[in-house]
């Protein structure tokens, strides 16, 4: 138990990821307002990206922009660039999907005149 | 590392504000500060390109999307009382949280240069990208050169999303 607590204390990033991820999932599932559901979705997506980027950090490393003598280059002096590339792609795709879902919410409001899930379900029936 | 812990606390606080505030416009603006704090944390971790993209696309464009939707719909959460958390969600989420935190001890240590993510292919990119692509920024070299097909398909995804938005929001015939 003490080992587990010290392992968690050394990884504050991971604890923050767990909090944001689960809270966002809960809001997505349980909150009746559609815009609030999308805010939960956004928090889930960014928390996963946050988790991935935390793997790229190296102690004492700088940003992955290479300069100086190529023959003497030490890879551990630069942060790992691969998670950065994957997450840059993921952020842009995330905002594109968010735009589509917000358009769906606006169309739903135009049709049923409410952003509340229960009211919309009532009016559909 | 000294600046990181206050930023992480601020991150959780802004996320909580975005979730708990009833006025949706305020909620969206707090979500913008959440995105910007996230960009600061990433800049601190050395992920400057990700921080730029999050500050521009996440804090800027996503906030604008939310605001445009809210201006054409309701600006307030109409529920006055919040329903209590169902016990299934409480039990399920606690179990998942305990399992995730239990697995934390098996993750590589934070900032470890010898972690599996940093040992296989990524030193190759760092050592050879300037010689092969003449680009000092390794992230740009991978994004636009080694993985350019990936980026091409990503632009197709964004194009599809734009077409979908235009088709959904088209007025007139239904």
Report pLDDT digits (tens) over B98-115.
999 888 888 888 888 888
Contact yes or no for B10/A12 (Cβ under 8 A): no
pLDDT of residue B165: 92
Residue B172 to residue B63: CA distance in whole angstroms: 27
- Nearest Cα neighbor of A90 from A42, A56, A123, A125 is A42
Counting Cβ atoms within 10 Å, is residue A105 exposed (0-12), middle (13-18) or buried (19+)?
A: buried
| Closest CB from B61, B85, B108 relative to A95 | B61
Cβ-based contacts of A76 with chain B (< 8 Å) = 113, 118
For residue A78, the cross-strand partners are A62
**Nearest chain A CA: its distance from B81 CA (Å):** 11
So what's the ipTM on this one?
A: 0.91
pLDDT of residue B172: 57
DSSP secondary structure letter of residue A58: -
List, in order of start, the domains of chain A with CATH numbers.
2-57+76-124 (1.10.287.3510)
Question: DSSP for B42-82?
Answer: HHHTT-HHHHHHIIIIIIIIIHHHHHHHHHHS-SB---SSP
B58 vs A22: CB contact, 8 Å cut-off?
Answer: no
For residue A47, the cross-strand partners are none
Cβ-based contacts of B11 with chain A (< 8 Å) = 16, 20
End-to-end Cα spacing for chain A: 52
What pTM does this model have?
Answer: 0.91
Counting Cβ atoms within 10 Å, is residue B65 exposed (0-12), middle (13-18) or buried (19+)?
A: buried
A91 vs B110: CB contact, 8 Å cut-off?
Answer: no
Question: What are the angstrom distances between the C-alpha of B107 and each of A7, B100, B103?
Answer: 9, 11, 7
Q: What residue ranges of chain B have pLDDT lower than 70?
A: 1-2, 77-78, 80, 172-174
Assess whether pLDDT exceeds 70 at residue A71.
no
Cβ-based contacts of A96 with chain B (< 8 Å) = 157-158, 161-162
- Nearest Cα neighbor of A53 from B106, B117, B120 is B117
Mean pLDDT throughout A34-55?
93
pLDDT of residue B173: 53
Residue A105 to residue B42: CA distance in whole angstroms: 31
pLDDT of residue B85: 82
Cβ-based contacts of B104 with chain A (< 8 Å) = 4, 7-8, 11, 14-15
pLDDT of residue B99: 92
Average pLDDT, chain A: 88
Q: Which residue from A minimizes the CA distance to B115? A: A55
CB atoms within 10 A of CB A115: 26
Contact yes or no for B137/A67 (Cβ under 8 A): no
**Nearest chain B CA: its distance from A6 CA (Å):** 9
């Amino acid at each position: 138990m003490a080992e587990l607590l010290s392992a968690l204390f050394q990884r504050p990033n991971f604890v923050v990821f767990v909090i944001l991820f689960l809270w966002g999932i809960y809001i997505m599932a349980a909150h009746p307002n559609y815009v609030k559901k999308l805010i939960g979705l956004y928090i889930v997506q960014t928390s996963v990206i946050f988790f991935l980027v935390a793997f790229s950090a190296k102690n004492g490393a700088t940003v992955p922009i290479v300069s100086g003598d190529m023959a003497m280059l030490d890879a551990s002096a630069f942060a790992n660039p691969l998670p950065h590339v994957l997450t840059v792609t993921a952020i842009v795709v995330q905002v594109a999907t968010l735009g589509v879902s917000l358009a769906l919410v606006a169309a739903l409001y135009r049709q049923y005149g409410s952003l509340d899930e229960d009211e919309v379900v009532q009016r559909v029936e | 590392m000294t600046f990181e812990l206050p930023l992480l606390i601020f991150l959780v606080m802004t996320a909580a504000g975005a979730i708990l505030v009833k006025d949706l416009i305020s909620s969206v603006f707090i979500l913008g500060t959440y995105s910007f704090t996230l960009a600061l944390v990433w800049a601190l971790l050395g992920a400057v390109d990700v921080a730029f993209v999050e500050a521009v696309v996440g804090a800027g464009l996503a906030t604008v999307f939310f605001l445009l939707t809210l201006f054409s719909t309701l600006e307030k959460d109409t529920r006055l009382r919040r329903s209590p958390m169902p016990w299934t969600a409480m039990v399920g989420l606690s179990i998942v949280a305990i399992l995730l935190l239990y697995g934390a001890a098996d993750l590589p240590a934070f900032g470890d240069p010898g972690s599996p993510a940093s040992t296989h292919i990524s030193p190759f990119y760092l050592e050879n990208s300037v010689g092969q692509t003449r680009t000092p920024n390794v992230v740009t070299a991978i994004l636009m050169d080694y993985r350019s097909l990936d980026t091409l398909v990503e632009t197709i995804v964004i194009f599809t999303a734009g077409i979908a938005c235009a088709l959904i929001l088209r007025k007139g015939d239904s």
